[in-house]
Amino acid sequence: MLLTQTRGSKADLTLRHAAGRTPSGPLTPAAWEPKTPTPLFFDATRFTRYRSGVKTADFDYHLPPECIAQQPLPRRDGARLLTLDRAARTWRDRTVLELPEILRPGDLLVFNDTRVIPARLRATREETGGKVEVFLLPPEPGELERLQPLAPGETVRRALTRSGGKLRTGESLALPGALKARLLERRGEAGEVLAFALPADRFDAYLDAHGEVPLPPYIARAEGDSNIVDRERYQTVFARERGAVAAPTAGLHFTPELLEALDRRGVRRAAVTLHVGLGTFRTVKTERIEEHYVDPEPFQVPAATAEAVAAAKREGRRVIPVGSTATRTLEACWDAPARTLRSGYGRTDLFLRPPCRFQVADALLTNFHLPRSSLLMLVAAFSSPGGEDGLEFVLRAYEHAKAAGYRFFSYGDACLFE
C-alpha cells in the first residue's frame, strides 16, 4: 500500500493492486505494488503556516565535549532518565530501568524498528589515489527504479561523499574488496548518484563485509575503526528492516529483559519503520526555522500499528513514541477527521517545530539532542504545544543535565517528556 499526498493537497489515500484489481483477501505488503512509483510528501502546512517568533540561533547552547558519550554503557538499560513534567515545568532524575514503574498500564509505546546498515565506505580516486569517504543514503520509495543501472550487474545508490577535491561526473572510485564505482550524477546537498559494479542482490552482503558503522561525527573513532561493539550497540534489539544510516537512538536503551518487565506492567508495544537519513540529522542552517527543509525519509506503518494507535486514542490511553523518528511517522500519518492512523508505505518531510501541535503523541521518550538541530526543535515544540515557550524549559533542563553529569547524544542518556 502506498500513501500519496502532495503539498497543498487534501489527503489522498491510494491503494493499487499490481494487476489493477482490488484484492478481496487480507492486505499484505507483497499484494500492493504501484504501477508507477509515487513518493509520498506529507503536507506539513498545518504545522508550518504560522511564522515562528524563534530563530535557529535561539536553539544554540554550549556543551562541553566531555558531556558527549563516546562509548555505550556496559548495559543498554543502564542509562539515566530525566523525566520532565511539561505542565508543572519540573524535572526529576530517574533511570531507564525505572520505566516499568513510571509508565502506566495501557500505555502504548511505538518503536522504530529500522535496521542500521554499514553505510560508510572508504574509497580512493583511481586517477589520483586521493581518499574518498562514501556515506550511503537510504533509498527512497521508487528511487532505485528511477536510477536504472547503465551497465548490466550494477547497483545504483545515492550517497554523500567527502574528498580532498571535487569529484567529477564519470570518475571511477576503487573500494574495498576490489569493487569499482562510477559517479553518475551530482545533486549538491542531496548527495551524489553512484553506480557500483555489483548486482543488487549481492550489495547488502558486500556492505556487511566491507562497510563501517555510520557513527555520527561527534563520536570519535580512528579511520576504519567501527568495531564489533559498535556493530552490536549502534543497533536496537528489535531492529528488523534494513535501510537506516543512523540509529533511532532512543530505542538503544531497551533490552529483552526491560521489554518483558514493561509487558508485565501492562505497557503495550507497536512498531513503525522510518529509515533514518538526512531528514533527521542534517543541521538547520537557515536563519529562521520555518525556512528549513527536512529531507524526505521513507517509512512504513503496519496495519496492526495503525489499529493499535487508533484504539489507544479511542480508549484514552497514552501513545508514547520512542524517539523523534517514530514521532514524525505517527504525526505524518494521522488522519485527524477520521481520528485514525493511515497504514502503508511512503516518505515524509514533516518538520515538527514551534508552534506546532501534536495529534498523536501524548508523551515522548527521546535522547538529548544537538544544538540547532531539527530534533531539538521537535522537543521544544512538544514541551509547549501551540506555543513557543517550550524551548526555555528544555534548555533549562539541559543545563541541569549538564551539571548533573548526564551523557548526551547517540550513546547518551534519555529524557521522558510527559
pLDDT in tens, 247-290: 999 999 999 999 999 999 999 999 999 999 987 888 899 999 98
Q: Collapsing DSSP states into helix, strand and coil, what is residue 242?
A: strand
Q: Which of 119, 131, 222, 120 is nearest to 174 (CA)?
A: 131
DSSP structure string for 324-372: HHHHHHHHHHEETTTTEEPPEEEEE-----TT---SS-SSEEEE---TT
pLDDT digits (tens, 9 = 90+) for 116-136: 999 999 999 999 999 999 999
Pick the CATH number of 40-116+232-417 from 3.40.50.300, 3.20.20.80, 3.40.1780.10, 3.90.950.20: 3.40.1780.10
- pTM reported for the whole predicted model: 0.86
pLDDT of residue 189: 80
Quote the CA–CA distance of 371 and 369 in Å, as a whole number. 7
Query: How many CB atoms within 10 Å of residue 6?
Result: 13
Give, as one character, the DSSP assignment of residue 224: T
pLDDT at 141: 61
- Structure confidence at residue 283 (pLDDT): 86
Task: Name the class of domain 120-211.
Answer: mainly beta
Per-residue pLDDT tens for 85-120? 999 999 999 999 999 999 999 999 999 999 999 999
Residue pointed to by grid coordinates 547488502: 204
pLDDT per 10-residue tile (average), the chain, 418 residues: 33 25 28 32 42 86 97 97 98 98 98 97 95 90 65 90 91 97 89 93 96 93 75 97 96 98 98 91 89 90 97 97 97 93 92 94 98 96 93 98 98 98
How is residue 106 written as a grid cell? 495501557
User: What pLDDT, on the 0 to 100 scale, is given for residue 51?
Assistant: 62
- Residue 164 DSSP symbol: S
How far apart, in whole angstroms, are the C-alpha atoms of residue 232 and residue 220?
A: 17
Residue 53: per-residue pLDDT:
75
- The burial class, CB within 10 Å (0-12 / 13-18 / 19+), for 106 is middle
Cα 264 to Cα 101, 110, 112, 247, 307, distances in angstroms:
11, 17, 21, 27, 22
The answer to whether 254 and 239 have CB atoms below 8 angstroms apart is no
Report the Cα 186 to chain-centroid distance in Å. 24
Percent helix, strand and coil across the chain, each rounded to 5? 30, 25, 45
Question: How do 80-85 and 414-417 pair as beta strands?
Answer: parallel
- How far apart are the C-alpha atoms of 249 and 352, rounded to whole Å? 18
- How is 246-288 classified by DSSP, letter by letter? S--GGGGG--HHHHHHHHHHT-EEEEEEE---HHHHPBP-SSB
Compute the distance between CA of residue 121 and CA of residue 25 in angstroms, rounded to an integer: 43
Beta-carbon contacts of 35 under 8 Å, excluding residues fewer than 6 positions away, are: 16, 18, 20
Q: So what's the pLDDT on residue 3?
A: 39
CA angle at 381 for the pair 316 and 418, rounded to the nearest 5°: 40
71 phi, psi to nearest 5 deg? -135, 150
Report yes or no: 287 and 304 within 8 Å, Cβ to Cβ: no
Domain layout of the chain by residue ranges: 40-116+232-417, 120-211
Q: Of 190, 189, 153, 192, which Cα lies nearest the Cα of 170?
A: 192
